Amino acid sequence: MSYPHGAPGHGFPGHGFPGQGFPGQGCPGQGFPGQGFPGQGPGQGIAVTTHFFPLAFMLALFKPLIAINGYQVPVVGWGRTVIPMPPGRHRVHVHIPYWLISQLGPADTLVDVYPGRFVELEYKAPVWGFSAGSLGPPPQSFNGVGVTIAVIAATTAFALLLPLLMLLIAI
């Protein structure tokens, strides 16, 4: 038996969208747009390129999460992800699911997709984990660099001044 939205109860696994199916499944024009969407020409949609700061190499263990209009998009890993979309305005959300912080570097933007064109977006994860990520047309910069430098400078100063303070107290 063929179900219009994929098998019953099977949406995006574990992401709270029961019965939505994967992109490209289901009836044309319903659910998340994919193959067979009416009016969708070839070569239109959104392309998101994701990056992380090289010294934040631990982020390589986690895949960024990309959602369009509230629907999670299958992502292979860091790098370029192409999402076919119908023309119109779409909300793009990107974050990294992380151990302690449920959403590291969240970033949102609205984009207009025109017939036959791709919208290129770039996401850069923040250097400081509690900062927002950067999402928009390329090139984007890494957020949180200033905070990271300030924390490293303060920690280094404390580590260098503490022995001097202990020496002064001992005298």
Residues 33 and 90 in one domain: no
The C-alpha atoms of residue 44 and residue 71 are separated, in whole angstroms, by 18
Q: Give the pLDDT score at 47.
A: 97
**Predicted confidence (pLDDT) per residue in 47-98, tens digit:** 999 999 999 999 999 999 999 999 999 999 999 999 999 999 999 999 999 8
**Predicted confidence (pLDDT) per residue in 105-156, tens digit:** 999 999 999 999 999 999 999 999 899 999 999 999 999 999 999 999 999 9
**Predicted confidence (pLDDT) per residue in 20-41, tens digit:** 333 443 333 334 444 434 444 4
The C-alpha atoms of residue 76 and residue 82 are separated, in whole angstroms, by 11
Q: Give the pLDDT score at 134.
A: 98
The C-alpha atoms of residue 95 and residue 107 are separated, in whole angstroms, by 6
For range 12-17, the mean pLDDT: 35
Beta strands 79-84 and 45-51 are antiparallel
Residues 50 and 88 in one domain: yes
The C-alpha atoms of residue 164 and residue 2 are separated, in whole angstroms, by 75
**Within-domain flag for 87:** yes
Q: Tell me the two tokens of residue 127.
A: 């250097």
**Within-domain flag for 79:** yes
**Within-domain flag for 167:** no
Q: Give the pLDDT score at 42.
A: 62
Domain with 109, as residue range(s), is 45-143
Residues 70 and 131 in one domain: yes
**Within-domain flag for 157:** no
Q: Give the pLDDT score at 104.
A: 95
Helices (H) and strands (E) counted in the chain, each on its own, are 1, 8
The C-alpha atoms of residue 93 and residue 71 are separated, in whole angstroms, by 10
Residues 75 and 130 in one domain: yes
* CA pseudo-torsion sign 165, 167, 170, 171: negative
Residues 85 and 134 in one domain: yes
Residues 69 and 3 in one domain: no
Q: Give the pLDDT score at 43.
A: 79
> How many domains are contained in the chain?
2
**Within-domain flag for 77:** yes
- Report angle CA 33, 36, 42 to the nearest 5 degrees: 85
**Within-domain flag for 154:** no
**Within-domain flag for 124:** yes
Q: Facing residues of 88 across strands? A: 113
Residues 9 and 79 in one domain: no
CB 54 within 8 A of CB 76: no
Q: Give this prediction's pTM.
A: 0.70
Question: In this structure, what DSSP letter does residue 116 have?
Answer: T
Q: Give the pLDDT score at 34.
A: 43
Residues 76 and 134 in one domain: yes
Q: Give the pLDDT score at 166.
A: 87
**Within-domain flag for 168:** no
Residues 31 and 53 in one domain: no
